[in-house]
């Protein structure tokens, strides 16, 4: 039972105790013990006189009534004050005042109402974080779209001014259109993940087969850069996993491609598949031999549109998509610098998609 229950309990108990005490006093004053009997030597009991208490029985009744009124008023004030603060905070939040907090108004309370105030503050913090992320995403998307659109306009203008260079301008337009298509696709994927829309329903698939397909494409891409892609822990046996294969594919592919991009020519990107701490999870690590990432930026690399000072290329969405895709499956992802140089990205994936993260069943047509 919660603390608020015990406060109500003791309040009612004290109210009843006060009422019972008033009744006891009334009965006590009316009892023979409080009577003063004056009996003369030849008097009979019928001559006994009864002395009423000062004010009669009305005094204890009025005292008990006033006590109960004051106690009830104090209890009502004590319980209604935080509720008024919460109502005011909810109204301010509904009007868009995301900085409003209810916790400070609760004072030193330690009951369910104070817990409700803290829960409101947590909710307001979360809403504020989501709104900031949305505004930042809109700003970053508009900024990223501006550059390829400007190059498109420049290529169109060049084609009109110099018809003999039309083919080169058309090639530029085609490349920029492809970049816009890639950017819009990644933004849509990121938006769906942040909204909790995971796409197709979860299914059983072989992680080993999926990883083999990723490595085949990665080796083809890495060959152009003279980079080797190796894998350990991937044997011929199946690795059954339940989840959204498309998202897992996208997450691992983005991490491997990011490693290939940052590792120098002639080096190796290593993909290690190993059991996790318990049998319900799998561990996957991707390491490169690049310059690594400053320690202060290790967590920021999973934020949308984050790019290091020495990496102006790309859109900064690959690792953000990987982070959200892994989190949507109840897994975890982190990065660390290797002592010998390079970056190591660690993934922990559950073999079975948690029930509370699964796609809800489709509604039956009415």
222 with 80, same domain: the answer is: no
- Domain range holding 168? 136-194
Q: What is the pLDDT of residues 9-24, one digit of tens each?
A: 677 677 767 777 777 7
* Residue at 83 is within a domain: yes
* Residue at 244 is within a domain: yes
Number of domains the chain contains: 3
162 with 272, same domain: the answer is: no
208 with 338, same domain: the answer is: yes
Q: What is the pLDDT of residue 236?
A: 54
Q: What is the pLDDT of residues 256-295, one digit of tens each?
A: 998 998 899 999 999 998 877 777 888 999 999 988 888 8
Q: Which residues contact 206 (CB under 8 A, 6 or more apart)?
A: 238, 239, 240, 241
* Residue at 364 is within a domain: no
Give Cα 306 to chain centroid, integer Å.
21
Overall average pLDDT of the 148-173 stretch? 84
Q: What is the pLDDT of residues 34-63, one digit of tens each?
A: 444 444 444 455 444 555 555 555 676 677
Q: What is the pLDDT of residue 72?
A: 66
72 with 152, same domain: the answer is: no
Poorest-confidence range of 101-110, 136-145, 266-275? 136-145
Out of 194, 227, 243, a domain closes at: 194
Strand pairing report for 268-275 and 228-232: parallel
Q: What is the pLDDT of residue 366?
A: 37
- Positive or negative CA dihedral for 243, 246, 249, 250? negative
* Residue at 43 is within a domain: no
Q: What is the pLDDT of residues 228-258, one digit of tens each?
A: 999 988 775 678 888 888 889 888 998 999 8
344 with 209, same domain: the answer is: yes
Out of 194, 220, 235, a domain closes at: 194
* Residue at 186 is within a domain: yes
Backbone dihedral angles phi then psi of residue 38, each to the nearest 5 degrees: -105, 110
Q: Cα separations (Å) of 61 from 18, 20, 299, 317?
A: 11, 11, 70, 76
315 with 225, same domain: the answer is: yes
189 with 324, same domain: the answer is: no
Percent of the chain with pLDDT strictly greater than 70: 75
Identity of the highest mean pLDDT range in 6-15, 136-145, 334-343: 334-343
Length of the chain: 366
Is residue 113 over pLDDT 60? yes
Q: Cα separations (Å) of 255 from 184, 235, 258, 287?
A: 19, 21, 5, 9
Out of 172, 194, 216, a domain closes at: 194
Q: Which residues contact 349 (CB under 8 A, 6 or more apart)?
A: 207, 241, 243, 248, 281, 282, 283, 284, 326, 329, 331
Overall average pLDDT of the 116-127 stretch? 88
86 with 141, same domain: the answer is: no
223 with 348, same domain: the answer is: yes
Rounded Cα distance, 118 and 106, in Å: 9
* Residue at 44 is within a domain: no
224 with 154, same domain: the answer is: no
CATH number for 218: 3.30.565.10
* Residue at 287 is within a domain: yes
Q: CA nearest 203: which of 329, 309, 304, 39?
A: 329
Overall average pLDDT of the 87-99 stretch? 87
110 with 19, same domain: the answer is: yes
More confident residue, 102 or 144: 102
159 with 100, same domain: the answer is: no
Is residue 179 over pLDDT 50? yes
* Residue at 332 is within a domain: yes
Overall average pLDDT of the 177-206 stretch? 78
């Amino acid at each position: 039972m919660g603390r608020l229950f015990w406060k109500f309990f003791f309040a009612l108990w004290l109210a009843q105790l006060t009422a019972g005490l008033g009744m006891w006093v009334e009965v006590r004053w009316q009892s023979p013990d409080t009577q003063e009997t004056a009996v003369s030597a030849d008097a009979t009991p019928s001559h006994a006189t009864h002395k009423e208490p000062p004010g009669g029985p009305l005094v204890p009744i009025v005292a008990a009534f006033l006590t109960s009124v004051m106690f009830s008023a104090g209890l009502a004030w004590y319980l209604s004050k935080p509720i008024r603060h919460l109502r005011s905070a909810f109204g301010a939040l509904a009007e868009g005042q995301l900085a409003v907090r209810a916790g400070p108004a609760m004072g030193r309370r330690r009951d369910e109402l104070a817990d409700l105030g803290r829960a409101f503050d947590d909710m307001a913090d979360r809403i504020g974080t989501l709104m900031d992320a949305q505004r930042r995403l809109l700003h970053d998307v508009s900024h990223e779209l501006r550059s390829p659109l400007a190059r498109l306009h420049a290529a169109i203008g060049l084609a009109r001014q110099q018809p003999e260079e039309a083919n080169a301008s058309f090639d530029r337009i085609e490349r920029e259109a492809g970049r816009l298509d890639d950017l819009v696709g990644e933004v849509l994927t990121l938006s769906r993940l942040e909204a909790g829309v995971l796409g197709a329903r979860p299914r059983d698939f072989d992680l080993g087969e999926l990883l083999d397909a990723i490595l085949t494409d990665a080796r083809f891409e890495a060959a152009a850069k003279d980079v080797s892609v190796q894998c350990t822990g991937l044997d011929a046996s199946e690795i059954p996993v339940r989840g959204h294969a498309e998202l897992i594919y996208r997450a691992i592919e983005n991490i491997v491609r990011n490693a290939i991009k940052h590792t120098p020519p002639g080096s190796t990107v290593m993909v290690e598949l190993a059991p996790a701490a318990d049998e319900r999870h799998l561990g996957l690590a991707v390491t490169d031999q690049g310059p690594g990432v400053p320690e202060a930026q290790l967590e920021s690399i999973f934020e949308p549109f984050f790019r290091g000072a020495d990496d102006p290329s790309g859109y900064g969405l690959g690792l953000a998509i990987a982070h959200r895709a892994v989190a949507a499956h109840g897994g975890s992802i982190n990065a660390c610098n290797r002592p010998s140089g390079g970056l190591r990205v660690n993934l922990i994936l559950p073999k079975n998609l948690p029930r509370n993260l699964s796609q809800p069943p489709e509604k039956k047509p009415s």
